[in-house]
Chains A and B, each alone.
Chain A
């Protein structure tokens, strides 16, 4: 494990991944300090104006909104939009900061839940084999017959808008990869001597799965999970972009990009005049995903025994 960590830090690309990740973690932790919430729901992006058009960085908060906050007793920390405003006057800076929390929430919740389901189904299928395995694997196949984004879109539409619905949809169609990986590695580990020995000694089935099999099959799952966080966050952002994800005004990077969609081309002759409306949320999504992918990629190289420097 020590060796793994050392290698993660010595590899340039994985180091970049770690730095990016630390950057996002700091933003997420200090979100209330960096961008103090102006309403009861901190995930609601405050508006700097009621303009439809995006406004460039440095745009001041309109007076009537300032008055409104004064009236309800909220202190406005920034009276200028640091990164500009999106369509509808939403403050991009605020959205970026709290969107980081949203991204972590989506990524970690969905991957963790999907992993647990996959772990459960995969280990049961592999351990009991025969018809249990057959049935569970066919169910997995059926879930795999849907393109992930399409399935998530359809289920979210049916469940109704909202971040929780998005996460349910992502989990419902996100566990199959884990089930397969865990099943595969347990099947090969099952033949190993230590499991045979435990079985011969009369150790209970549940205990064998827990104590012997899972620890030996956890690495491939971890690699997959790390890469998967990026995919989950992107898919959630894509759903928001398509208009079936987070509710209007929710601090979510995907929605902020979708705000920018109508403005990206700009007025004739002024291409790129609204660059800030897509640039900031876009770069945050890309870097967040890149961070997890770089770490996952490096982990795979390090933990894959075939790629170790053997003689």
Chain B
């Protein structure tokens, strides 16, 4: 297994170089003026040729292609990603400030997705072709066909418009006053729900949860449908395997057959898919945050894209690509732990 992990780790720098290079290529599609704009925090600078020249010099924006790439990577390594007009602060600061909100959303969404998705997928496969399976399948295919933004608007309409239960945003105004400007509230993790509990402030916790629910529902419905399909077909495949018949021939009870013999094997491919799920979710985050004006990375990036704030958009792409690369690495390594055929290689 060590050889496998080392091989996988050796691949990491290649992928990282490739990813940054690809982003730099996209960056290079911009006109020199637009590229310059990503490093400028004051629009009047652009009108001043000398000041502009200084910045072009400083950031090596006129260097030929390979050198320009190297300079660019060097700046990234120092977290200098330019200036975000949408947030009116450096891109890196904007990322740091919004990251916890998005993290909180993704963590809370991924748990129901994985548990419900796999659970229903297994049930669906065990009851292959009967009424339970059919209804789960239909729910899943509808969910899979439901674009996140439309489902999000539906959730917003029902739970906010009609019922008034789940408001958009991250916190109510009174809660913002306490959390962001209050003196008695300490932000330990910047995950509001957890901070609220650490501060023993239950009203804030409830308020934060109320705001989180709608984007969580939106994100998870679409993705559990996706995972369910994978889990179901993988489980169906596994239940046809000879070793399942062997287990039954030994007199193993159905519960053990499904949970010990089949599930372990069926979930190995599902782990791989979990990587793809993170990819999908990161895209969904942009939509869910925009629909519910939830102040995370996705909302910021969408706003920046509308305003043609290239610096923020490039920084955002870079960050999400890195998260993906690391996520895939984690998935591949955990794959090795689950499957003895790889582990004992």
Task: Please list the residues of chain A having a beta carbon within 8 angstroms of any beta carbon in chain B.
Answer: 13, 138-139, 141-151, 153-159, 230, 234, 237-238, 241-244, 254, 257, 260-261, 264-266, 271-272, 278, 282, 285-286, 289-290, 293-294, 297, 306
Given contact pairs A261-B291, A265-B156, a sample of 5 additional A-B residue pairs in the complex whose CB atoms are under 8 Å apart: A145-B325, A238-B149, A242-B305, A260-B153, A278-B157
Residues of chain B within 8 A of A154, CB atoms compared: 26, 305, 313-314, 316-317
- Contacts A142-B19, A142-B22 known; A151 to B153 CB distance under 8 Å? no
Residues of A within 8 A of B306 (CB): 242-244
Give the CA-CA distance A290 to B156 in the complex, in Å.
Answer: 22
Which residues of B142-181 have CB atoms within 8 Å of chain A's CB atoms? Answer: 142, 144-150, 153-154, 156-157, 160-162
How far is the CB of A210 from the nearest CB of chain B, in Å? 30
Q: Is the CB of A237 within 8 A of B144?
A: no
| B203 is an interface residue with CB less than 8 A from chain A | no
Known: A146-B321, A154-B317. A242 touches B287 (CB 8 A): yes
Given A146-B324, A148-B283, A155-B26, check contact A264 B153 (CB 8 Å): yes
Q: Which residues of B contact A (CB under 8 A)?
A: 11, 14-15, 18-19, 22, 26-27, 29-30, 138, 141-142, 144-150, 153-154, 156-157, 160-162, 237, 240, 279-280, 282-284, 286-287, 290-291, 301-302, 305-306, 308, 310, 313-314, 316-317, 320-321, 324-325, 328
Whether B157 and A289, one on each chain, are in contact in the complex, defined by CB atoms closer than 8 angstroms, is no
Check B314 against A234 for contact (C-beta < 8 Å): no
Residue among B11, B153, B156, B313 making CB contact with A157, cutoff 8 Å? B313
Q: Is the interface of A mostly helix, strand, loop or mixed?
A: helix
Question: In the complex the two chains form, is B279's CB within 8 Å of A153's CB?
Answer: no
Out of A150, A243, A271, name the residue touching B316 (CB < 8 Å): A150
Question: How far is the CB of A113 from the nearest CB of chain B, in Å?
Answer: 19
> What are 8 A-B pairs at a CB distance below 8 A?
A143-B22, A150-B316, A154-B314, A154-B316, A157-B310, A157-B313, A242-B287, A264-B156
- Known A150-B286, A154-B314; contact A244-B305, beta-carbon cutoff 8 A: yes
CA of A234 to CA of B162, assembled, Å: 27
Q: Which residues of B contact A294 (CB under 8 A)?
A: 141
A153/B153 in contact, CB under 8 A: no
> Which residues of chain A have C-beta atoms less than 8 A from B283's C-beta?
147-150
Shortest beta-carbon distance, B211 to chain A, in Å?
A: 15
Which residue of chain B lies nearest to A241 when distances are taken between CB atoms in the complex?
B149
Residues of A within 8 A of B280 (CB): 147-148
Shortest beta-carbon distance, A74 to chain B, in Å? 33
| A297-B141 CB under 8 A given contacts A145-B324, A157-B313 | yes
Q: Please, which residues of chain A bring their CB within 8 A of the CB of B144?
A: 293
Q: A157-B313, A158-B30, A242-B287 are in contact. Are A146 and B320 (CB under 8 A)?
A: yes
Complex Cα gap A241–B149 (Å): 8
Q: Establish whether residues B305 and A145, one from each chain, have CB atoms under 8 Å apart when the complex forms.
A: no
- Which of A151, A158, A282 gathers most chain B CB within 10 Å? A158
Nearest B residue to A153 via CB reads B305
A265 to B308, CA, bound (A): 28
CB atoms of B162 and A272 under 8 A apart: yes
Scoring A238, A266, A306 by chain B CB atoms within 10 A of each residue's CB, the highest score goes to A238
Q: How far is the CA of A159 from the CA of B28 in the complex (A)?
A: 11
Say which residue of A138, A156, A293 sits within 8 Å of B145 (CB atoms): A293
Contact A234 B286 (CB under 8 A): no
Shortest CB-to-CB span from B17 to chain A, Å, is 9
Return chain B residues, CB-CB under 8 Å to A139.
18
B contact residues around A13 at 8 Å (CB)? 138, 141
Do A261 and B321 touch across chains, with their CB atoms under 8 A apart? no
Which residues from chain A contact B15 at a C-beta distance below 8 Å?
Answer: 138, 141-142, 145
B18's partner among A138, A156, A261 (CB-CB below 8 A) is A138
Q: How far is the CB of A104 from chain B (nearest CB, A)?
A: 17
In the complex, the answer to whether A261 meets B153 with C-beta atoms within 8 Å is yes
Give the shortest distance, in Å, between B277 (CB) and chain A (any CB): 11
* Chain A hits for B284, CB < 8 A: 149
Distance, CA A149 to CA B148, complexed state (A): 11
B27 and chain A: residue at smallest CB distance:
A158
Specify which chain B residues have a CB less than 8 angstroms from the CB of A142 in the assembled complex. Answer: 15, 18-19, 22
Q: Give the CA-CA distance A155 to B302 in the complex, in Å.
A: 13
Nearest chain B CB to A283's CB is how many angstroms away? 9
On whether the beta carbons of A138 and B282 are closer than 8 Å, the reply is no
Q: Are A149 and B286 within 8 A (Cβ)?
A: yes
List residues of chain A with CB within 8 A of the CB of B11: 138
A282 interface neighbour in B19, B153, B291, B310, Cβ under 8 Å: B153
Shortest distance between the CB of A307 and any CB in chain B (Å): 8
